[in-house]
Structure 1
Amino acid sequence: MKLTEHFTLAELVASSTARRLGVDNTPTADALQQLYRTAQMLERVRGFLGGHALIVTSGYRNRQVNAAVGGVSSSDHSQGMAADVKIPAYGTPYQVAKALAPQIQALVIGQIIYESVGGAQWVHLSTRIPLQAVNRVITVYGRTTMMGIQPV
């Protein structure tokens, strides 16, 4: 099912962890509605970054899958409000996050997190606006959280 021109439900719910565990990762009706909003946000990001394809490395994760990957219980992924992405044709995850951060309002992004954990890097994009403004644009390096997009 196409959610938007460039994003399908299948790619936003794909999970190697769910497959490995034999878990059905079908979103709830509420999460599906949120996934439409998430896909629309991803379209805006794609357009802003020159139309380069976004690779969704993690989208919707039901509670069981989220727990299995070590996600926090309040994860936006479990509500269909977030996607972790890479855009190699544009640049590194750091370059992507740096480009998007000043455009957070214009692109209607709730939160941008540049994440570098265990040698892997990606950009977490969410439609949910955190309660504290300082948490809208952050860097997570291992177990350390820093304000803004920081080189790590």
Structure 2
Amino acid sequence: MNLSQHFTLAELTASNKAQQLRIDNTPPQELVPRLVRTAEMLERIRSTLGVPVVVTSGYRGQALNKAVGGVTSSDHTQGHAADIVVPGFGSAYQVARALAPLVSTLGIGQLILEGVKGKQWVHVSTRTPDKTSNRVITITDAGAQLGIQELV
């Protein structure tokens, strides 16, 4: 099922961990409109960066979210979020730096540059956090910092 021109429901629900653990990661029908909104946000990001966007994690049901160590309040469980990499554009840091000044224009409620356990990606969500200071942050093994910080 296509959610937008370049993003499918299968792409936004795919999970190697779910397959490995035989977890059904099919979203409830009522969350599909949120996934469409997330796909539309990803389309705007793709258009802005001018290259394809790879979704490494999209929707995660509660069982999968727990299996991957996600926080219980994760936007992934509600269909609001996707973790992405954009190899044709650059590193996660370069992607986050390019998107940070455009969050409002692109309909990104929250942008997080994540560098955890040796992996790097960009988390984008259509939901704006309650604390506006958490709208653009960097999370590393050392903790969270405001803004986009270079990962070392």
**Is the shorter-chain TM-score for this pair beyond 0.5, marking a shared fold?**
yes
- TM-superposed CA distance for 1:32, in Å, is 1.3
Look up the match of 1:46.
46
Residue-pair matches, total? 151
- TM-superposed CA distance for 1:142, in Å, is 1.1
Runs of 4+ in 1 over 2 A off after TM superposition: none
TM, length-normalised to structure 2: 0.98
Look up the match of 2:107.
108
Stretches of structure 1 lacking an aligned partner (at least 5 in a row): none
- TM-superposed CA distance for 1:33, in Å, is 1.4
Matched residues in 1 for 2:109 and 2:64: separation?
A: 23
The AA in structure 2 aligned to 1:37 is R
Look up the match of 1:3.
3
The answer to whether residue 39 in structure 2 is matched with residue 13 in structure 1 is no
Aligned ranges 1:22-41 → 2 under 5 Å = 22-41=22-41
Q: Is the 8 A contact 1:30 1:79 kept in 2?
A: no
Three-state SS of the structure 1 residue aligned to 2:113 is strand
Matched residues in 1 for 2:118 and 2:89: separation?
A: 20
Look up the match of 2:64.
65
Percent sequence identity is 55
- TM-superposed CA distance for 1:143, in Å, is 4.3
Superposition RMSD on alpha carbons, in Å? 0.6
Aligned ranges 1:126-141 → 2 under 5 Å = 126-141=125-140
- TM-superposed CA distance for 1:30, in Å, is 2.4
Three-state SS of the structure 1 residue aligned to 2:106 is coil
